[in-house]
Each structure stands twice: as C-alpha cells, then as structure tokens.
Amino acid sequence: MERQDYTMPTLLQYENVAWYENGKVRILDRRIYPTRVEFVECENHQAVAQAITDMVTQSAGPYTAAGMGMALAAEESKNLARVEQIAYLKEASHTIANARPTTANRMSLITEKCVAVAELALEMGQDPTEAIKQNTIDSLNRRYYTMDQVAKYLIEKIPDNGTVLTQCFGETIIGMLLREAIEQKKTLRFFCAETRPYLQGARLTASCCAEMGFDTTVVSDNMIAYLMEHEKIDLFTSAADTIAQDGYIANKVGTYQIAILAQRFGVPYFVTGIPDTDKISHESIKIEMRDPEQVMELNGIKHTLDGVKAIYPSFDITPPELIGAVVTDRGIFSPYDLKRYLIEQPENNFY
C-alpha cells in the first residue's frame, strides 16, 4: 500500500511520529513543538515506554512508538536463544503497553501483535527487528487509511465555509479531515481549545491546521461558552482515547464540559474513532492521574505559591446523551448503537 502520510503536516509524517533506525527509536518531542523541533532518542525499549509515559508523544503517537519500541526490543534480544528472545519480547510488550493506563488495552493489541510477528519471523528464518518495523509501518498505513474513511463521513456533516471546534489533538483524524477538505475544495475555519496543561490543542492541532492553510484560532479552555454564544460553531469534534460499547467515551480532560456546553448551545458533537472490543462498559475505563505539578506550572515556570495543591486527571468520561454521533470508518453510529458496529464486523484491524 502507498504510504498514507502523503501531504500530511509535519507532525503526522511517519518519521516524525516515531521511527526505529540503527538501534534507536527517534520520537519528535511534542511537549515543546512548535517552539522547538527536537527529537528524543531512545536507546532501549524501557526508554520508549518512559517517553510515552512522559508524553513526549501522545494521542495516537504512542501506538507508533510502541511498535517501533518493540522493534528495538527485538534488536536488544537478537543474541538470545529463540525461547529467551520471545520471553524478552513478551516482557517488553507488557512494559510498553502499560506506559499509560487508560489506553493499555489498545496498546496491548499493538505490542502483542509485534510478539506474534517476531515469532513468525524467527520460524521463517527472518529478522524479527525488521519484521516488527515493517508491521508497524503497515499498521500506520491501515490506521491512516481507516481514519481517512472516517474523515470522509465527518466532512459530510460540515458545511462549506463551516466552523469547527476541536479539543486536544486528534492526531490522524485531524490530518485526514484537513486533507479531505483540501481535496474537496471545502473552506473550513477552526477554533482550537488550547487544552491545558500541555496545550496540545494550541501547539499541535492548531499547528496542523495552520500548516495546511486553514483559518485557525486558538481559544483558552474557559472561553468556550463565550465562543459558542458569539461565533457560529457548526460542529464540535474530538477523537477518543476509549469508546466503550455503552456509548461513553474517554478523552482529554475538558471534553466533558465542552460537550455540556455544546448541548446547551445546540452545537452537534461528533466523536471520531473505533469502538473498543474489550470495553463493554465505561465502568472499566481507568482514568490516569498525572503529576499535579504540571498543572501548577507552564513551560517550566511555576505560577502558584508553595503549599498550593492541584489535581491532574488526564481524561474525563462523556456520557452518550451528550454525543450526537460516533463517526467510524463504517459510517455514522448513534452512541447507543455501537454494538452493531462490532456485530457487523467483529475484527478490529485498526491497529
């Protein structure tokens, strides 16, 4: 398959997401982009897991980093006996997949597939490192192609000269929506919620939109009601880190409150992504609590007095009554009808 990152903005080009080469995994540091364009180089798979934990990459970026990290693990263990190498890869799979708890289920799909690819390569006398790297590239192609199908359904719901509000950084769907708009010659305007405390909306989503030539405006997270009252917002959209089969979704903290405001102002909220096969209910979603120090500082500058406390839940959970639809590669589904997506085609080849 042709590489699916053609015409994509800088952040979404494969080599800039995560890339294994010469015994290292190179990851574009999204914590400081676009102020500085720097890469974190990981010399072992534990460093890749740590980079994921530290949010050097986030959104769908960790999926690619996980695959490339498993290629690195295969290289680390290349001199072990076959049984020992597979055991090493299984341990690496667990380490990388659990770098962030909320998405451990999705990450496990990736890393466990890498172990299976390595086993097959060893049986056939092939290099498991290269086999895993190629599998990761194939997975990228599938994901980009899948999200391109999602974008084709989503853009139908946005009028020409329409205005879209985004939350956090939806990674692939953002790039595909922008590319689809260009190919369809559709003019869109974007408002990007900044997404405290890491500012993914301001730094990442807005960068992609601006780089692709779209009218782009950043608003702070507490301006959404003002925005919806004074600007015509045609659609609020976000990706989701988890889409449970009962219609609840987990996404970057702040999504829930924007969904409440969208309902109040009559703005449709469309979630993009693929329902999770192993998340029957939202009750199984684990919310990651991160270091609260990150809330009390910005770009390394502390802005609270000693003794002030903070909390930092990475995600919140939005209920189905606030979601207009879930846009998938197989069409647009009611959040109350997600089981039909899985019944019609049980296999999820997204990863």
- Catalytic residue ranges: 241
Q: How far apart are CA 221 and CA 186, in angstroms?
A: 27
22-25, Cβ contacts within 8 angstroms, sequence gap of 24 or more: 23/72, 23/75, 24/72, 25/65, 25/68, 25/69, 25/71, 25/72
Q: For residue 206, how many other CB atoms are within 10 A of its CB?
A: 25
> Can you list the alpha helix ranges (DSSP code H) found in 212-272?
224-230, 255-265
Q: How far apart are CA 232 and CA 244, in angstroms?
A: 31
Task: Say which DSSP state 285 is in.
Answer: P
Distance of CA 209 to the CA centre of its chain: 16
Secondary structure of 150-191 in HEC code, one letter for each residue: HHHHHHCCCCCCEEEEECCCCCHHHHHHHHHHHHCCCCEEEE
